[in-house]
């Protein structure tokens, strides 16, 4: 029983705090920004608050690396620091830093002058980091809510734009609906095993016959988490929310919370040895890949197109969950990392090109981008090729490992569906590239120059995409070790 | 003593009422209340299971859920006000700039 009061261990120790250090750092910086926001001059110091947030996320990356040297349990077995949690901490804090870099120019152009934007990104990252290290279902629920509530607000940040608040309300209502399902699953799991601690649940389910309640609990938790990662059939909110939300935030919420939720799913599916895993995953993966790609074929709005592509990628990723743990876990982890690099990069281009009020977001607007801004066009092309899965980009190895893991588990049907879908997907990504390079520009006006911060963000994401596509070995090795940690 | 199954059935019914309300109601506030109903259904099963397992933790989780629900309500109502300001309606059928 995780919350039992034991007199000898009633007080937290120093190592306990070390093991939530990245979360502490992020929260402290978030609070400093909230306090400073009303007292600083809004016009001039927007950038200063952003820089503070950037320093906060870099400090969180540093504390993650520091924390990695002292793995172990903390806070009465509720938090576990191991290579698995460090991998996701590093990924989430890096995503946070890059998204803050992409936000500077966006906030300037959209004339949004409120510092809590950056604070909310940091608070969201706190929840996501905590999700990846929590080994207690109720703590996971709270972390999930910290991350979700922050992203609900961020989705509606262009308050004057009606579509932004509409995106926010849709995200909020469907997100809370999904959370209630997850929580019901937690309650039933508590009922089935008498505990909400993941290791205890695992022992309990392993020792005797599996109660029916546990199957229902896993299914309900999967519904809740499936909503959060935009897996079909729980994906309907995705295109609307991604279209209405600010572009840098879409880059954030399509990668960081997803990575965190996939970390939770990995724990639930593999560490608990979830009963009935294969059937659930099979259906969700096949549906997500197919519906995502078919939906993307007809889109004219680039943000919506990328939203459907995000559904499809959630499907490819779920294929790894149907595979055997020893190669399913590392391939899923590698996929989240490479998807984060290419997707944030793509949305960075979209947010720069959108201009004031995000006016230029349709496919036609992108015509002739290759001539108007060769650098942006080249970056966008790289990210799209990676999303297709062309060799020497991250997307290739990501798909390769997932599909080969699935083949080793004899999931031939699922792999065939996946490969057909990848071929279909190539069509709509290439369509964007054709428009960018082959069509004449509709508007010859000069694009604003790419500012330094956005350039840095594009460089980081592009280099990561190529690095993971050329030398995937180190990341994959680390992911394999994490898989070992997760399975003991 | 009331058997465990009574509580579970009641909690399931509450949860189902919430789901139904979420799906068929058109007013955003009512939809939001349906979500709260779902959470309360979950709370009831937490308490019932806590009594069944003689585990105090189940009772404590309910407090966590209530706190989180309150935080969610604060943010949710703020978002609802933002929607009302731009749209002057709270009917979900009219909040439809983004095609579903």
Q: What is the pLDDT of residue B100?
A: 52
CB neighbours of residue A473 within 10 Å? 9
Write the residue in A138, A172, A176 that is nearest to B64 by C-beta.
Answer: A138
| B15/A173 touch (CB, cutoff 8 Å), yes or no | no
Query: Chain A neighbours among B 42-61 (CB < 8 Å)?
Result: 42, 45-46, 48-49, 52-53, 55-58, 60-61
User: A176 touching B, CB under 8 A?
Assistant: yes
Segments in A323-448 forming alpha helices (H): 325-354, 369-372, 374-388, 394-408, 412-438
| A180/B28 touch (CB, cutoff 8 Å), yes or no | no
Chain B residues with CB-CB distance to A194 below 8 A? 49, 53, 55
Peptide bond into A115 cis (omega under 30): no
What is the C-alpha to C-alpha distance for residues A270 and A283, in angstroms, rounded to an integer?
Answer: 18
Residues 6+ apart with CB under 8 A from A287: A231, A232, A233, A315
Parallel, antiparallel or unpaired: strands A79-81 and A72-74: antiparallel
Mean pLDDT per block of 10 residues along chain A (488 residues) reads 54 89 96 90 78 96 94 92 96 97 90 87 97 95 96 90 90 95 96 93 88 93 95 93 95 96 94 86 95 94 95 96 93 96 96 88 90 92 96 95 95 95 95 93 81 95 96 95 89
Q: What is the pLDDT of residue A1?
A: 45
CB neighbours of residue A151 within 10 Å? 27
A355 membership: H or E segment, kind and range: none
Query: Alpha carbon A389 to chain centroid distance?
Result: 19
Residue A464 main-chain phi, psi, to 5 deg: -65, -40
3-state secondary structure of A73: strand
A473 membership: H or E segment, kind and range: helix A473-486
Nearest-Cα distance to chain B for A168, in Å, is 7
Question: Which residue, A332, A142, A358, is CA-closest to A247?
Answer: A358
Nearest-Cα distance to chain B for A240, in Å, is 6
Q: What is the pLDDT of residue B90?
A: 84
Chain B residues with CB-CB distance to A168 below 8 A? 79, 82-83
Q: What is the pLDDT of residue A4?
A: 52
Segments in A111-158 forming alpha helices (H): 116-133, 137-155
CATH number for the domain running over B4-94: 1.10.287.3510
Q: What is the pLDDT of residue A399?
A: 96
Nearest CA in chain A to B11: A184
| B68/A190 touch (CB, cutoff 8 Å), yes or no | no
Question: Which residue, A47, A41, A237, A39, is CA-closest to A151?
Answer: A237
Question: Which residue, A50, A31, A57, is CA-closest to A118?
Answer: A50
User: A166 touching B, CB under 8 A?
Assistant: yes
pTM of the complete model beyond 0.90 = yes
* Strand ranges for A79-224 from DSSP E: 79-81
| A1/B41 touch (CB, cutoff 8 Å), yes or no | no
> Euclidean distance between the first and final Cα of chain A, in Å?
21
User: A170 touching B, CB under 8 A?
Assistant: yes
Nearest CA in chain B to A187: B46
Residue with tokens 């007013």: B27
Q: What is the pLDDT of residue A82?
A: 93
Chain B residues with CB-CB distance to A145 below 8 A? 68, 71-72
What is the C-alpha to C-alpha distance for residues B44 and B58, in angstroms, rounded to an integer?
Answer: 10
């Amino acid at each position: 029983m995780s919350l039992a009061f034991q007199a000898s261990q009633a007080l937290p120790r120093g190592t306990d705090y070390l093991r939530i250090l990245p979360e502490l750092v992020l929260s402290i910086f978030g609070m400093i920004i909230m306090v400073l926001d009303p007292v600083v001059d809004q016009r001039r110091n927007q950038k200063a608050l952003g820089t503070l947030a950037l320093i906060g996320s870099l400090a969180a990356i540093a504390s993650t690396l520091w924390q990695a040297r002292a793995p172990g349990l903390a806070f009465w077995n509720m938090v576990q620091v191991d290579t698995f949690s460090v991998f996701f901490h590093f990924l989430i804090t890096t995503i946070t830093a890059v998204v803050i870099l992409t936000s500077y120019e966006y906030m300037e152009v959209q004339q949004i002058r409120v510092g809590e934007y950056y604070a909310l990104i940091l608070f969201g990252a706190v929840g996501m980091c905590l999700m990846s290290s929590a080994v207690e279902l109720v703590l996971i629920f709270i972390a999930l809510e910290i991350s979700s509530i922050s992203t609900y607000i961020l989705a509606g940040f262009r308050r004057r734009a009606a579509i932004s608040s509409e995106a926010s309300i849709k995200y909020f209502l469907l997100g809370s609906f999904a959370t209630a399902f997850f929580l019901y699953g937690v309650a039933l799991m508590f009922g089935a095993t008498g505990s909400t601690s993941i290791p205890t649940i695992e022992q309990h389910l392993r020792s005797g016959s599996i109660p029916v309640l546990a199957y229902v609990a896993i299914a309900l938790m999967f519904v809740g988490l499936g909503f959060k990662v935009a897996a079909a059939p729980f994906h309907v909110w995705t295109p609307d929310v991604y279209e209405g939300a600010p572009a840098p935030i879409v880059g954030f919420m399509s990668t960081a919370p997803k990575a965190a939720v996939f970390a939770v799913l990995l724990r639930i599916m593999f560490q608990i040895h979830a009963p009935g895993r294969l059937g659930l995953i099979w259906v969700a993966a096949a549906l997500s890949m197919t519906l995502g790609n078919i939906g993307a074929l007809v889109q004219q709005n680039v943000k919506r197109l990328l939203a459907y592509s995000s559904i499809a990628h959630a499907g490819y990723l779920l294929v790894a969950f149907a595979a055997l743990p020893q190669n399913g876990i590392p391939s899923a982890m590698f996929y989240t990392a490479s998807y984060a690099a290419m997707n944030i990069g793509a949305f960075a281009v979209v947010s720069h090109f959108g201009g004031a009020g995000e006016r230029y977001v349709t496919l036609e607007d992108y015509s002739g981008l290759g001539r108007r801004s060769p650098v942006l066009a080249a970056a966008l092309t790289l990210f799209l090729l990676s999303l297709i899965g062309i060799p020497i980009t991250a997307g290739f190895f990501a798909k390769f490992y997932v599909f080969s893991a699935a083949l080793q588990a004899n999931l031939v049907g699922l792999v065939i569906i996946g490969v057909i879908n990848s071929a279909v997907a190539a069509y709509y990504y290439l369509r964007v590239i054709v428009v960018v390079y082959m069509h004449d520009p509709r508007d010859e006006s000069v694009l604003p120059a790419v500012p330094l911060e956005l350039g840095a963000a594009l460089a980081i994401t592009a280099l990561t995409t190529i690095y993971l596509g050329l030398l995937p070995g180190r990341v994959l090795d680390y992911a394999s070790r994490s898989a070992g940690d997760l399975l003991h | 003593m009331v058997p465990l199954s009574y509580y579970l059935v009641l909690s399931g019914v509450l949860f189902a009422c919430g789901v139904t309300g979420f799906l068929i109601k058109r007013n955003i506030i009512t939809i939001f209340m349906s979500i709260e109903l779902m959470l309360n259904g979950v709370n009831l099963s937490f308490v019932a299971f806590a009594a069944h397992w003689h585990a105090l933790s189940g009772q404590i989780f309910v407090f966590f859920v209530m706190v989180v629900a309150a935080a969610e309500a604060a943010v949710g109502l703020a978002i609802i006000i933002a929607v009302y300001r731009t749209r002057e309606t709270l009917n979900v059928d009219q909040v439809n700039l983004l095609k579903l």
